[in-house]
Amino acid sequence: MIVQLSRYFNIHASELDRREVLNAHLGIDNRLFVDPQLLEKTKIPEFKDARKDLTKYFSSIIKLLSKSHHEGDLLWKEAKARLRIHEENGAALGYSGAGGHGHGIGSKLASVLVTRCKQIVELGIDDPEFFELLGLFQEDFGPDLLSDMAVAILRERFLAYTQRITKELNLRPQAKFSINGKDWSLPRRCGRRSASAPSASRC
């Protein structure tokens, strides 16, 4: 069922507006994506210096590829592993029609990307911001996938932000989720079972 966040959690839309929280539609992709450039301008405390996190992540890939001697060596494989991004359940961003799940970057596309990135690095380009331009060099890599990467890399920041908003608005239903060894109080949808929070399947 597709329903807006305010209606599902029975809160007034103005409460979201006051906090500049997106009144997203649940159950479908909202036609938005994370723009890394805007992270430099955000005033949201949980995302302070988030841009640096992305730069650091992409810089590590560049460093690996600059020292890789041939396709398939240890450094190449590690760079490819860092380019693989699993689906982020609940992000609900993009134009892919994934229904709340990001498509992520699988092994096949990661192989194409690591090859293209290696070629770019060999041209002497070592600015991590070139990742934002990969869509110009690789047709399968557009803003949706860059957004999926950003969400995955900044996952804990998104969780911290969501936890704060959940507390401020006292959203119900909510549950405790264990993610990467940390406990988070987050909103939940009725009838959805989570491996990390088995009790979250009932309201």
pLDDT digits 0-9 by tens, 171-186: 999 999 999 899 999 9
The percent helix, strand, coil of the chain (3-state, each to 5) is 50, 10, 40
Domain membership flag for residue 88: yes
- The runs of H, that is alpha helices, within the chain are 5-8, 13-18, 50-67, 74-83, 107-122, 134-137, 143-153, 155-169
Spatial neighbors of 87 by CB under 8 A, at least 6 apart, are 98, 101, 102, 103, 104, 148
For residue 145, give its domain range.
36-155
Residue 3 falls within a domain, yes or no?
no
Give the CA radius of gyration of the chain: 19
114/184 same-domain check: no
Reply yes or no on whether the pLDDT at 203 is more than 60.
Answer: no
Tell me whether residue 7 is in a domain: no
Query: Do 183 and 85 share a domain, yes or no?
Result: no
Do 76 and 41 sit in the same domain of this protein? Answer: yes
What's the whole-model pTM score? 0.82
- Split at pLDDT 50, 70, 90, the class of 89 is low
- 16 contact partners, CB below 8 Å, separation of at least 6: 5, 6, 22, 23, 169
Q: What is the mean pLDDT of residues 189-196?
A: 52
Q: Is the pLDDT of residue 99 over 50?
A: no
